[in-house]
A and B are shown apart, each in its own frame.
Chain A
Amino acid sequence: MKALIVDDSQIMRRIIVSVLKKAGVEDIVEVSNGQEAVDLLAGANDIGLVLLDWNMPVMSGIEALRHIRTTNKKLPIVMVTTESEKEKVVEAIKAGANDYLLKPFNPQDVLDKLQKHLEAVKK
């Protein structure tokens, strides 16, 4: 299973890569904004999980989420963001996010949460 990390911070991508590897995911693709994610997903059908930041240059995570959902309703997408307001969470879920992880996070908590999605993808 291949995972896609969408975050403009290389440090955050590095942390998430480490969490995914602990969960047994070795095939990981990284991009740094929403537009790159939309472009990549338009030409790739082997991505099984997307971890999507919100606040990014070029195209934000919420815009990317809406674009992706116009063509792909089933791909598991987890927002990984600092946006903690209830309205933001509701906005993301309405736009089609499967889950919502708040930064700052404990890597173990992220691992526990991602396991649920990884198990679902494997089934």
Chain B
Amino acid sequence: MDAISTTPFIETIHEIFNSMLGMNVKVGAPRPELSGIHPPDLIGVIGLSGSAQGMVALRFPDKSALAIIGHMVGAQFAEVDSSIIDGVGELVNIVAGSAKGRFRGHNMSVSLPTVVRGDICRLSNMADAVWVEVPFESALGNFWLIVSLKQSVNTQQEVAREGAHR
């Protein structure tokens, strides 16, 4: 894996929108850093461990979360309740769980998802990990993918050993 690859996560988000929501989603330019302070949002976070470690998050303004989860289950939600929080957790679970299978040569596990309300800037981040934020636009509202990953020391050593043997 390169320093960081968001492609498997982006592919999975496209697939979720195509298959489960019946619509396309437009991906914007990735930013290497967080784009400033945001109003409180719903953020689904999931940890990745194994040969690459870090976290994947989906950040939704309330309005987007209500529309996207509502469309998924064919219902209308007026306010953020346990169903919306559960739905955000399930979305990030699908994104992380499905994407990890698309990283070739890696063996990763996902944690159970956590959903928080607040500002992603306040979430702790590993000091030596790369952090990328990718904006998405959909007919149901905007949202952001946030990925912070680093290769484990063991993996880097394994890759170096493989290179030496060639």
Contacts and interface: CB of A to CB of B under 8 A. Distances in A.
B74 A18 contact: yes
30 contacts: A8-B112, A9-B86, A9-B89, A9-B93, A10-B86, A11-B83, A11-B86, A12-B90, A15-B20, A18-B73, A56-B112, A57-B112, A81-B97, A82-B93, A82-B94, A82-B110, A83-B97, A83-B101, A84-B102, A85-B101, A88-B101, A102-B98, A103-B94, A104-B12, A104-B15, A104-B16, A104-B20, A105-B19, A105-B20, A107-B20
A107 B72 CA distance: 10
Interface string A84-116: 110010000000000000111111010000000
Interface in B78-114: 82-83, 86-87, 89-90, 93-94, 96-98, 100-102, 110, 112
B85 to A, nearest CB: 9
A9 B97 CA distance: 14
Given A83-B97, A103-B94, A55 B110 contact: yes
Contact of B69 (A11, A83, A106, A109): A11
Nearest to B17: A104
A2 interface: no
Interface in B34-72: 69, 72
Interface residues of B, number: 25
Contacts of A83: 97, 101
Q: Which range contains the number of A residues in contact with the other chain?
A: 20 to 34
Contacts of A103: 94, 97-98
A19 to B, nearest CB: 11
B93 A55 contact: yes
Contacts of B101: 82-85, 88
Given A9-B87, A84-B98, 16 more contacts: A8-B112, A9-B90, A10-B82, A11-B86, A12-B90, A14-B83, A15-B20, A15-B73, A18-B73, A55-B93, A55-B112, A82-B101, A82-B110, A104-B12, A104-B16, A105-B19
Nearest to B82: A10
Contacts of B110: 55, 82
Contacts of B87: 9, 11
B140 to A, nearest CB: 15
A83 B72 CA distance: 21
A105 B12 CA distance: 11
